[in-house]
Amino acid sequence: MCIVETIGPRNLLLMGFGICSVASIFLAMSIELQKTIPWMDELSAAFLTLFLLGQSVGPDPVTNVLVSELFLQSSRSTAFVITGTLHWTCKLLFTLVYLHVENHVEPYSFIVCWPVCIASFVCLNRRIPDIRNKTFLDIQRIVALHMARRILMKSLVVPNY
């Protein structure tokens, strides 16, 4: 919890998805080069470890912290159930899809992770405010201002006919 408070959950998520996106590209390249360069196996293992480190820093643990900080006590248990179900369902679906994709695009199977990591990075960067070292009331105010700003920006956009 100390790391989350000092660095902030938003920064940890961004760092985790950033590490995963870079590691997935290098992992795909190193797996392809294993056929020609004999010592590339060790580098592939290092990039896989880096990818798992990125998952361990950001997307896996920080989502629970965000739920506990962004939701009121009355709706927190429901939010935990929904995010937990979504988290594990996405992991299951990704694993099942990955096993089939890996057979068809063998060395480039980790490139499938790259667009997901980049899209998550961009979406989180735009939508989640920085809540580092803030109280629950401060976080509620920041989220309300953030949502009001988004609603105002949507209302100002004039549709093209």
**For residue 161, pLDDT beyond 70:** no
**For residue 149, pLDDT beyond 60:** yes
Question: Which residue in the block uniquely carries the two structure tokens 């309300």?
Answer: 144
pTM: 0.79
Q: What are phi and psi of 121, to 5 degrees?
A: -60, -50
Neighbours of 156 (CB within 10 A): 7
HEC readout, 64-86: HHHHHHHCCHHHHHHHHHHHHHH
Tell me, what's the pLDDT at 112?
Answer: 81
Tell me, what's the pLDDT at 21?
Answer: 93
pLDDT digits (tens, 9 = 90+) for 3-36: 777 888 888 889 999 999 999 999 999 988 988 9
**For residue 47, pLDDT beyond 90:** yes
The pLDDT mean for the chain works out to: 86
Go through the chain and tell me how many residues it has: 161
pLDDT digits (tens, 9 = 90+) for 61-101: 888 888 887 788 888 899 999 998 998 998 899 888 888 88
Q: Give the closest residue to 60 by CA, choosing from 71, 70, 51.
A: 51
